[in-house]
Structure 1
Amino acid sequence: MSTDEPTTGGSRHTNLNNSVNDSDGGNSPKIGSELPTPYERVSEFHEEYSDRAHLRLSTTHGERLREEYTREFTESYESSAPREWDDPVKGQEVVRREAVTWGTAVLRTLEDYADTRRTTVNLEKGRPSDPEYQEWSVQAETRWFASYQKRYYAQMKGWLRELCGGKRPSGEYTEPDFENPHVALVTLSASSVPNGDRVGPVEHERVRRESWQDVYHTLRNTMRSKGYELGDDWQYDRRSEPHAGERGGGLNHCYGHDHIVIVVDGEVDATDFQPVVEKHVETCDWAGETAHALEKAIEVKAADEVEHLAEYCASYAAIKPVDLLERPIEYVAWASAVNAANVKTVSRSDAAKHAATADACRQRAESPQCDQDRDHAEEIIPSTRRGYELECAECGSPHGIDQDQTLTAARSPNDGPAIADGGLVDRVEQLKERWPSARAGATVGERPQRRRWRLAIEEYLKQNPEADPPEILGQLQLPPDAREVLAEIEAGIDRSVPVGFERPPEWQVKSITVGEEEYPASSGNGVTMVETKLPVERVYEESVLSERDDVTRWRCEKTNVAIGGPNAGRKMAGYLVKQGIKHPWVIESLVVIEHVRGLNSI
Structure 2
Amino acid sequence: MSSSDPSVSGADDTPSNRPDSRPSKETNSVTGDEADSTDYEELVHERVIEFMTEYPELADLPLSRTHGRKLRRIVTDAEWRDEWVEPVTPSEKAFKVTELERREAATWTDALSAFLTAHTRYKGLLARFSNNDGDTFEIPLVDAWGEEYARKSYARAMALQRQMAGGERPSGGEAVAAWSNPATGMLTFTGSSVPSGTRLSPVEHFDALHDSFSYDGVRDTLRNTMEYHLGLDSDEWGYWLQTEPHGMGDASSSDTEPGLNACYTHLHVGIYFDADGLDLHDVGSELERVIDKHVDVCEYASFDAHDYTAIDDYVEDSNGCISLNADVSNMGSYLATYMGGYTEELLEKPIEYLAWGAVYWSAARRRTSRSRVLTMAIQADACQQCAEHPETKQTDDHGDRVEWNDGRGLDVVCPCCGSGWGIDQSRLSEPISNDELSEALDTDGGRDGPLSLSQLWSSATEAASFGESTTRARIRSDVSSWLHEHPDATPSVPRLLGELRIDPVHAHIVTDVLDGQKPTPESFQRILPQNEWELEAIVDRDGEEHQPSGGGIDMVSLHLPVRHLLQETRLQHSLKSGEVWRCSECNVALHNAESMARHFAFEHGADRPESADSLLIVEDYHDRQRECMKHPAAD
TM-score (norm 2): 0.73
**Distance across 2 between alignment mates of 1:117 and 1:421:** 62
What's 1:330 paired with? 352
* Pairing 1:583–2:607 present: yes
* Pairing 1:515–2:541 present: yes
* Pairing 1:502–2:527 present: yes
What secondary structure sits across from 1:526 in the alignment?
coil
What's 1:18 paired with? none
Are 1:157 and 1:310, in contact at CA under 8 Å, matched by a contact in 2? yes
- With 315-324 and 146-155 compared, the bigger mean Cα shift is at 315-324
What's 2:227 paired with? 224
What secondary structure sits across from 1:154 in the alignment?
helix
Over residues 378-437 of structure 1, what are the superposed CA-to-partner deviations in whole Å (9 max), with x where a residue is unaligned? 1112223245331112211111111123469xxx9x99967999988852675985747x
Are 1:555 and 1:592, in contact at CA under 8 Å, matched by a contact in 2? yes
Are 1:259 and 1:316, in contact at CA under 8 Å, matched by a contact in 2? no
What's 1:238 paired with? 241
**Distance across 2 between alignment mates of 1:389 and 1:288:** 41
Structure 1: where are the runs of 5+ without partners? 1-33, 127-131, 442-449, 489-494
- How well do the aligned residues superpose, as a CA RMSD in angstroms? 3.9
Displacement of 1:483 in angstroms is 10
Q: Superposition pairs for residues 112-261 of structure 1, below 5 Å?
A: 112-126=118-132, 132-212=133-213, 213=215, 214-229=217-232, 231-246=234-249, 249-261=258-270
Over residues 196-220 of structure 1, what are the superposed CA-to-partner deviations in whole Å (9 max), with x where a residue is unaligned? 1221111111122120131001111
Are 1:228 and 1:234, in contact at CA under 8 Å, matched by a contact in 2? no
Gap change, CA 1:536 and 1:386, over 3 Å in 2: closer
Residue 518 of structure 1 aligns with an amino acid whose one-letter code is E
What's 2:597 paired with? 573
* Pairing 1:274–2:300 present: no
Are 1:556 and 1:591, in contact at CA under 8 Å, matched by a contact in 2? yes
Displacement of 1:340 in angstroms is 0.8
What's 2:307 paired with? 293
Are 1:473 and 1:482, in contact at CA under 8 Å, matched by a contact in 2? no
- With 139-148 and 99-108 compared, the bigger mean Cα shift is at 139-148
Residue 563 of structure 1 aligns with an amino acid whose one-letter code is L
What secondary structure sits across from 1:404 in the alignment?
helix
Over residues 58-94 of structure 1, what are the superposed CA-to-partner deviations in whole Å (9 max), with x where a residue is unaligned? 1222222111110000111111122222232212111
Residue 386 of structure 2 aligns with an amino acid whose one-letter code is R
Q: Superposition pairs for residues 92-131 of structure 1, below 5 Å?
A: 92-126=98-132
What's 2:97 paired with? 91
**Distance across 2 between alignment mates of 1:163 and 1:502:** 44
Residue 113 of structure 1 aligns with an amino acid whose one-letter code is H
What's 1:599 paired with? 624
Residue 159 of structure 1 aligns with an amino acid whose one-letter code is L
Are 2:125 and 2:140, in contact at CA under 8 Å, matched by a contact in 1? yes
Q: Superposition pairs for residues 170-569 of structure 1, below 5 Å?
A: 170-212=171-213, 213=215, 214-229=217-232, 231-246=234-249, 249-266=258-275, 267=278, 268-269=280-281, 270-294=284-308, 295=311, 296-303=320-327, 306=329, 308-317=330-339, 319-386=341-408, 388-406=410-428, 427=454, 433=460, 435=462, 467-468=502-503, 472=507, 476=511, 478=513, 501-505=526-530, 506-516=532-542, 517-523=544-550, 525-541=551-567, 545=571, 552-557=579-584, 560-564=587-591, 569=593
Are 1:124 and 1:133, in contact at CA under 8 Å, matched by a contact in 2? yes
Gap change, CA 1:547 and 1:193, over 3 Å in 2: closer
Gap change, CA 1:329 and 1:72, over 3 Å in 2: same
What's 2:467 paired with? none
Over residues 417-475 of structure 1, what are the superposed CA-to-partner deviations in whole Å (9 max), with x where a residue is unaligned? 67999988852675985747xxxx9xxxxxxxx9xx9xx9xx95899799428985895
**Distance across 1 between alignment mates of 2:47 and 2:565:** 39
Over residues 492-538 of structure 1, what are the superposed CA-to-partner deviations in whole Å (9 max), with x where a residue is unaligned? xxx9xx99743213222222233334321233x21122221123123
Gap change, CA 1:241 and 1:598, over 3 Å in 2: farther
Residue 288 of structure 2 aligns with an amino acid whose one-letter code is Q
Gap change, CA 1:500 and 1:298, over 3 Å in 2: closer
Are 2:462 and 2:526, in contact at CA under 8 Å, matched by a contact in 1? no
**Distance across 1 between alignment mates of 2:381 and 2:554:** 36
Displacement of 1:46 in angstroms is 1.1
Displacement of 1:193 in angstroms is 0.9
What secondary structure sits across from 2:620 in the alignment?
strand
What secondary structure sits across from 2:235 in the alignment?
coil
What secondary structure sits across from 1:204 in the alignment?
helix
Number of positions where the alignment pairs a residue of Structure 1 with one of Structure 2: 526
What secondary structure sits across from 1:553 in the alignment?
strand
What secondary structure sits across from 1:347 in the alignment?
strand
Are 1:254 and 1:333, in contact at CA under 8 Å, matched by a contact in 2? yes
What's 1:10 paired with? none
**Distance across 1 between alignment mates of 2:540 and 2:77:** 26
- With 575-584 and 466-475 compared, the bigger mean Cα shift is at 466-475
**Distance across 1 between alignment mates of 2:170 and 2:426:** 31
Are 1:554 and 1:595, in contact at CA under 8 Å, matched by a contact in 2? no
Gap change, CA 1:534 and 1:177, over 3 Å in 2: same
TM-score (norm 1): 0.77
Are 2:581 and 2:593, in contact at CA under 8 Å, matched by a contact in 1? yes
Displacement of 1:293 in angstroms is 1.8
What secondary structure sits across from 2:426 in the alignment?
coil
Displacement of 1:244 in angstroms is 2.7
Gap change, CA 1:434 and 1:200, over 3 Å in 2: same
Gap change, CA 1:549 and 1:117, over 3 Å in 2: farther
Are 2:248 and 2:350, in contact at CA under 8 Å, matched by a contact in 1? no
Displacement of 1:195 in angstroms is 2.0
Displacement of 1:544 in angstroms is 6.1
What secondary structure sits across from 2:513 in the alignment?
coil
* Pairing 1:73–2:82 present: no
What's 1:26 paired with? none
Over residues 105-129 of structure 1, what are the superposed CA-to-partner deviations in whole Å (9 max), with x where a residue is unaligned? 0000111111122322222212xxx
Displacement of 1:291 in angstroms is 1.6
What secondary structure sits across from 1:84 in the alignment?
coil
Gap change, CA 1:322 and 1:420, over 3 Å in 2: farther
Residue 49 of structure 2 aligns with an amino acid whose one-letter code is S
What secondary structure sits across from 1:116 in the alignment?
coil
Gap change, CA 1:358 and 1:469, over 3 Å in 2: farther
- With 247-256 and 53-62 compared, the bigger mean Cα shift is at 247-256
Residue 165 of structure 1 aligns with an amino acid whose one-letter code is G
Gap change, CA 1:430 and 1:358, over 3 Å in 2: closer
**Distance across 2 between alignment mates of 1:339 and 1:596:** 51
**Distance across 2 between alignment mates of 1:400 and 1:482:** 53
Structure 2: where are the runs of 5+ without partners? 1-38, 252-257, 312-319, 465-472, 480-491, 631-635
Are 2:157 and 2:339, in contact at CA under 8 Å, matched by a contact in 1? no
Displacement of 1:284 in angstroms is 0.6
